Amino acid sequence: MAGVVATNETILVVGGGISGMTAALEAAETGKDVVLVEKNPALGGRVSQLYRYFPKLCHPTCGLEINLRRLKANKRIRVLTLAEVANIGGQAGDYSVQIKVKPRYVNENCTACGECAKAVSSEIPNPFNYNLNKMKAVYLPFNMAHPQRYVIDPSIIGTPEADKAKAACKYDAIDLGMKEEIIDLKVGAIVWATGWRPYDAAKIQPYGYDRYANVVTSVEFERMLDLFGPTGGRILRPSDGKEAKNVAFIQCAGSRDRNHLKHCSRICCMASLKQTNYVTEQFGDAGKSTIYYIDIRAIDRFEDFYQKVLANPNVTFVKSKVANITEDAAGNPVLHGVDTEGYHRYDNAHDLCVLAIGMEPSVDANSIPGGIHADKSGFIEADPANGALFGAGCASNALDVNRSVQSATAASLRAIQVINRVSRAEA
């Protein structure tokens, strides 16, 4: 990684999801040098794990393809994967950043021919599919992974499996002796775009996510629809592989709740509305969806989408915060609560229950080196005290994709302003 040259006119972008990629690309296409740091082995972030977007039901990988093409064509962006920021020193216009890079055990020689993966048999949980299935311990993270380069899981390092992988590679691309590295970078401004993670569903005790196989999260459900996902694109329930035709969606799972996340995560209503489409798409009139909600927050033009789902006779809306879930003898999750429209008690059995899980920042802003202003949920709050570190996307708030990209573009300009000040001062 000695090739990474950065100066105080370089912008560091932390996080290679859609916000980070956007911030990096927009800055680079405006003529700035960028180092893009991603902790996973490939770019793409959480949207690359989505099957479709609301409200157009288009595929996130379409946009990813465009962004990757822009990235590959732009020589101003250096990408570091398996990399995290260890420390930030200095000040606006003149930061010294330490980046910790984990070993991939595969170098740039890799052609992604796949022979190494064929040679090994060890399997590990697949994080791209939220560990719902397993994959080889030598792997390409997903079809559109960039860099298009295999990864060797550290768990097999030092075992004969790793040697088998190495032996299978004709291109001298496997380096089992790779060590963790620390890279020191000089940068002028930082865009922090580390995104979000789903709230830990197991903490919502009454819903039994940790006890009932057929209670899953919305992000896991999303993976089921992918042809290359854990179920090969079919909506199957985890306990017995039966088709899940009667699906419950519980809104505000973790969100708008003083015991969990006090903010509204903004995307979950639309995500569930979208996912009812998957159920209809797969099973036609045999597919039934029920949404348990407090308020349906289909903000601005998304209202259309809500109206379309309302018109679907196979989707039922119940205004209720579900009290708890039990499991019946057939393994069906049974939802208990009171429908507040008319105050009826219900005990509804479904094939599968999807928790519209809340959004929390992947990195608590309080833990960002250098002391960053954070709100109570751990999102970055814009503040002059943050110097030239700018939050972007879901590191700064619970946002949908469109707003994340907006936010990332804005953050990118704020970073450019710092760089332009630096270069004017030095000119």
Partner 1 sequence: MADMKIGAYLCKGCGLGERLDTAQLEMIAQREGKAQVVKSHDFLCNAAGVQMIKDDVANDGVNHIVIAACSRRSKTEAFNFEDVAISRVNLREGVIWVTPEGDETKELVQEMAVDYVRMGCAEVAKMQPPEPNPNHGNNKRILVVGGGLSGLTAALESARTGYDVLLVEKTGGLGGWLSKLHKRVPSREPYADPQDTGLADLIKQVEAEKRIKVFLNSTISKTSGAPGQFSVDISTESGSTATENVGGIIMASGFETYDINKLPELGGGKSQDVVDQAGLEQLAKAANGGAIKRPSDGKEVKSVAFVQCAGQRDTTGKHLAFCSGHCCNTSIKQAMYFKDQNPDVDTVVIYTDLRTPGNGEDFYRSAQKKGVIFTKGKVSEVVPGAELQVKFKDLILNDDAVAKADLVVLATGMVANSGIDMEAQLLAEATERDEAKKAKDAGEAVAEKQEKPKGVSILNLTYRQGPDLPHLKYGFNDSHFICFPYETRRTGIYTCGPVRRPMDAVQAIEDATGAALKAIQAVENAMLGRAAHPRSGDLSFPTFRREGCTQCKRCTVECPFGAIDEDEQRYPQFNESRCRRCGTCMGACPVRVISFENYSVDTVGSQIKAVEIPDEMDEKPRILVLACENDAYPALDMAAMNRVQYSAYTRIIPVRCLGSINTIWVTDALNSGYDGVILMGCQKGDDYQCHFVRGSEMAHYRMSKIDDTLKQLNLEVERVTTHEVAITDIARAPKIINDMAETIGKIGLSPLKF
By CB under 8 A, tell whether 73 contacts partner 1: yes
Residue 84 or 364 having the CB closest to partner 1: 364
- Applying the rule CB under 8 A, the residues between 94 and 133 that interact with partner 1 are 109, 111-114
By CB under 8 A, tell whether 420 contacts partner 1: yes
Residue 18 or 183 having the CB closest to partner 1: 18
Smallest distance, Å, CB 240 to partner 1?
Answer: 26
Please report, to the nearest 10 degrees, the dihedral formed by the alpha carbons of residues 266, 268, 272, 277 taken in order: 50
Smallest distance, Å, CB 378 to partner 1?
Answer: 12
By CB under 8 A, tell whether 384 contacts partner 1: no
Please choose, out of 35-43, 176-184, 196-204, 406-414, the segment that lies near partner 1 by the rule CB under 8 A. Answer: 406-414
Please choose, out of 7-15, 208-216, 322-330, 372-380, the segment that lies near partner 1 by the rule CB under 8 A. Answer: 372-380
- Applying the rule CB under 8 A, the residues between 244 and 263 that interact with partner 1 are 256, 262-263
**17, 42, 53, 82: residue in contact with partner 1 (rule CB under 8 A):** 53
Smallest distance, Å, CB 267 to partner 1?
Answer: 9
Please choose, out of 183-191, 275-283, 322-330, 416-424, the segment that lies near partner 1 by the rule CB under 8 A. Answer: 416-424
By CB under 8 A, tell whether 407 contacts partner 1: yes
Which residue type occupies 118?
Answer: K
By CB under 8 A, tell whether 81 contacts partner 1: no
DSSP string, 218-254: HHHHHHHTSTTSTTTT--B-TTT--B--EEEEEEEES
Q: Give yes or no for a contact between 144 and 61, defined as CB atoms under 8 angstroms apart.
A: yes
Task: Specify the DSSP class assigned to residue 216.
Answer: E
**175, 200, 243, 381: residue in contact with partner 1 (rule CB under 8 A):** 381
Q: Find the radius of gyration of the CA atoms of the chain.
A: 23
| CA distance between the termini of the chain | 29
Smallest distance, Å, CB 379 to partner 1?
Answer: 8
Residue 302 or 346 having the CB closest to partner 1: 302
The answer to whether the peptide bond before residue 238 is cis (omega within 30 degrees of 0) is no
- Applying the rule CB under 8 A, the residues between 198 and 227 that interact with partner 1 are 226-227
Q: Give the tokens for residue 14.
A: 């932390």
Please choose, out of 85-93, 157-165, 211-219, 294-302, the segment that lies near partner 1 by the rule CB under 8 A. Answer: 294-302
Closest CA to 318 of 350, 342, 351, 299: 342
Task: Specify the DSSP class assigned to residue 383.
Answer: -
- Applying the rule CB under 8 A, the residues between 15 and 44 that interact with partner 1 are 18, 25-26, 29-31
Q: How far apart are CA 294 and CA 250, in angstroms?
A: 10
* Element spanning 411, H or E: helix 401-426
**70, 100, 164, 234: residue in contact with partner 1 (rule CB under 8 A):** 70
Cβ atoms within 10 Å of 105's Cβ, excluding its own = 23
Q: How far apart are CA 331 and CA 329, in angstroms?
A: 5
| 3-class DSSP state of 307 | helix
Residue 85 or 357 having the CB closest to partner 1: 357
- Applying the rule CB under 8 A, the residues between 335 and 364 that interact with partner 1 are 340-343
Q: Give the tokens for residue 183.
A: 């890279």
